[in-house]
Chain A
């Protein structure tokens, strides 16, 4: 376990070395958050409330939307695992007493913490100064939001690892990175929360694991879920995380088994 902590720590520290990049990313991120807020402001026009949701709530939703997806990069996980499997670099990792997908996830967690502290939080504060932002609905919802963020990061990176492992059979991780983006666009609730989706699309999207990446954490912050629902959905999310972890473990065993066959 301490090994993975060390990987996470080194992931965090490597980000310090590329400060220019972080500044550029901060700017790029800022533009995107502004864009999301602008879209909702335009849609609301003069209306204060649409479908029981106020503009302030939507602005807050837009600000929280990048909390996890802005901090963690699925590309590095999908690409990292895909590349190692394709080039055979993975053979080196098979010699080490380390679970390779877990290593890739751990170092991305380290980088995600760095970006969360130095990219996401400053961006949210900066845009909130212009447009305002609602506090969590209650202390309980605020605390649950933090727990949901950890779960969101876990599910996000596990799905990415799963996509990276599939690259082993598909021979291209490029397409899998794109497909993951497609699913995030539609099913994470990044731009449009599911309460604005036409039914039954909204009901379906709420059940899929992508919903825990953006939709549920933000909905919890806004108090759209009652305390009981918060706990229940957290349990379902944990179930998804466990299922995904099992799938990663299984695919990794199969893929690493095939590496041996291919090598030589």
Chain B
């Protein structure tokens, strides 16, 4: 309970400090919205010319894109910049100072760095998803809506867990940032249906870089499409992926903090 209050306080402090430069903050958000829209426009240009991509049409690809943006933003807000900067904390030794404080270092790092910069993503993602749900061929029932929300949550959990595990490698190898470029290489692929990739890449995206669970697997389930390699297991696995990778990240965090020796020689 006390931890929760502290987390809330840290988030409020972060919001207040970010809002100090309100003009620049919103200019940055608008720029991000424009850039994400331009990537979506490229997909639109593709289906405008070729009608479909591996059997996916515009409304379906729009749903996929909005899910990809929302799931990523929700997960990355509590992980990406914080864990990317862990490398710097380790190098400067400020992480060592955190270990002596009477509060979980994870809680402090994540919530003191809570990234409200993802507000732009969320805004765009919600608008696109409402649009997609309006035009996508889905038989809406309470069950599909519940599934959509639960799988979005699971997607955010996979994203946060994976970004956290990458950042953790800094505790052991001091440098971690180059691994993020591998992450974002795969991350861009999640804007497209998994079906279009060679089996090797599909396999990777369902296991060691589990980003298929952050978009194309759950969206294919909602749309009633076949998921390559997973088949009938897809609906359940999309929901279980989140808790599973979060548990894995928790284990990794404990192990890494235990093994942490500091960067200095």
A27–B185 CB distance below 8 A: yes
State which residues 168-199 of B face A: CB under 8 Å.
Answer: 175, 177-179, 181-182, 184-186, 188-189, 192, 195-198
Closest Cβ neighbor of B204 among chain A residues:
A31
Closest Cβ neighbor of B56 among chain A residues:
A42
What are the interface flags for A10-46 relative to B under an 8 Å C-beta threshold, 1 for contact and 0 otherwise?
Answer: 0000000010110111011111101100110111000
Partner of B28, one of A18, A34, A174: A174
B181–A43 CB distance below 8 A: no
**B182 surroundings in chain A (CB, below 8 A):** 24, 27-28, 31
Given the interface contacts A32-B188, A186-B42, A192-B45, does A181 sit within 8 Å of B201 by beta carbon?
Answer: no
B53–A35 CB distance below 8 A: no
B35–A182 CB distance below 8 A: yes
Partner of B27, one of A32, A41, A172, A191: A172
Bound: A79/B192 CA distance, A: 30
**B48 surroundings in chain A (CB, below 8 A):** 198
B54 within 8 A of A: yes
B24–A38 CB distance below 8 A: no
**A38 surroundings in chain B (CB, below 8 A):** 192, 196-198, 201
A176 within 8 A of B: yes
Bound: A186/B45 CA distance, A: 10
Interface residues of chain A: helix, strand, loop or mixed (majority): helix
**A181 surroundings in chain B (CB, below 8 A):** 35, 38
**B50 surroundings in chain A (CB, below 8 A):** 43, 50
A32–B185 CB distance below 8 A: yes
- Shortest C-beta distance, B72 to chain A (Å), equals 15
A197 within 8 A of B: yes
Partner of B45, one of A24, A179, A196: A196
A146 within 8 A of B: no
- Shortest C-beta distance, B195 to chain A (Å), equals 7
**A183 surroundings in chain B (CB, below 8 A):** 38
A28–B184 CB distance below 8 A: yes
B126 within 8 A of A: no
Chain A residues bordering chain B, tally (CB within 8 A)? 38
Bound: A43/B45 CA distance, A: 13
Which positions in A face B, CB cutoff 8 Å? 18, 20-21, 23-25, 27-32, 34-35, 38-39, 41-43, 50, 170-172, 174-176, 178-179, 181-183, 185-186, 191-192, 196-198
**A186 surroundings in chain B (CB, below 8 A):** 38, 41-42
Closest Cβ neighbor of B192 among chain A residues:
A39
Interface residues of chain B: helix, strand, loop or mixed (majority): helix
Closest Cβ neighbor of A27 among chain B residues:
B182
Bound: A191/B53 CA distance, A: 14
B3 within 8 A of A: no
A34–B31 CB distance below 8 A: no
A174–B31 CB distance below 8 A: yes
A39–B53 CB distance below 8 A: yes
- Shortest C-beta distance, A164 to chain B (Å), equals 14
**A25 surroundings in chain B (CB, below 8 A):** 178, 181
Partner of A185, one of B39, B46, B177, B179: B39
Bound: A31/B31 CA distance, A: 26
Given the interface contacts A20-B178, A24-B181, A171-B24, does A31 sit within 8 Å of B189 by beta carbon?
Answer: yes
A-B contact pairs, 11 of them (CB 8 A): A23-B178, A28-B181, A38-B196, A38-B198, A175-B31, A178-B28, A178-B31, A178-B34, A181-B35, A185-B42, A198-B48
B14 within 8 A of A: no
**A197 surroundings in chain B (CB, below 8 A):** 45, 49
**B185 surroundings in chain A (CB, below 8 A):** 27-32
Interface centre among B31, B39, B45 (most CB of A within 10 A): B31
- Shortest C-beta distance, B112 to chain A (Å), equals 20
Bound: A146/B132 CA distance, A: 44
State which residues 30-87 of B face A: CB under 8 Å.
Answer: 30-32, 34-35, 37-39, 41-42, 45-46, 48-50, 53-54
B35–A178 CB distance below 8 A: yes
B53–A179 CB distance below 8 A: no
Besides A34-B201, A182-B35, A191-B46, 17 other A-B contacts (C-beta < 8 A): A27-B181, A30-B185, A32-B188, A38-B196, A41-B196, A42-B196, A43-B46, A43-B50, A172-B24, A172-B27, A178-B31, A186-B41, A186-B42, A191-B42, A192-B49, A196-B49, A198-B49
